[in-house]
Amino acid sequence: MQKDLVNKVAADLFSIPALSSRIVRSKFTKVALANIEVSMTPLHFEILNLISEEGSLPVFEIGKRLVLAKAHMTQRVDKLVENEMVRREPDLSDRRVTRITLTDPGRQGMDSLYSIISDALEQALSSLSETDLMELSASLNKIRNILPKMMHS
């Protein structure tokens, strides 16, 4: 019984990031990206979001985290550099490595996108009943409290 429950929870846990990412990317990110001046795909947004969260990152690390081949990374980063959203910088500790950093316009663009996505998300959440919102909030709080326990086992 315990093993079955563990398997079910593992499958459920594995599905949550993909599901939430797909919902946010398809419904909210695309809407936000359609309302900005710069031509950008959801994948460009994911790259910018990762750099925004982590600071400067090597190109290979971004590709690894987003599961993208180096050729795809080069094309995506080239487009972001062309749009002045990021810049390439040499790594100070390893000159073979190129790091990608948000520019000021990139940071401002991300702030604007976060605001648009947040507004769209709030609007979508407002369509839920109060009961659904309370259950969702409680569930997310439980997940946020329980997941760190897995790190210590």
pTM metric for this prediction: 0.72
Tens digit of each residue's pLDDT (9 = 90 or more) over 46-95:
899 999 999 899 999 998 888 888 888 889 999 999 999 999 999 999 98
Q: 92, 88, 91, 53: which is closest to 73 by C-alpha? A: 88
Terminal-residue alpha carbon distance, the chain: 21
C-alpha R_g of the chain: 19
Tokens at 142, concatenated = 């439980």
| Domain extent for 41 | 2-151
Instruction: Name the DSSP class of 28.
Output: I
Q: Token digits for 36?
A: 């900005």
pLDDT in tens, 84-143: 999 999 999 998 999 999 999 999 989 988 888 888 888 888 999 999 999 999 998 898
For the chain, the domain total comes to: 1
Single-letter residue type at 73: M
CATH number reported for the structural domain that contains residue 43 in this entry: 1.10.10.10
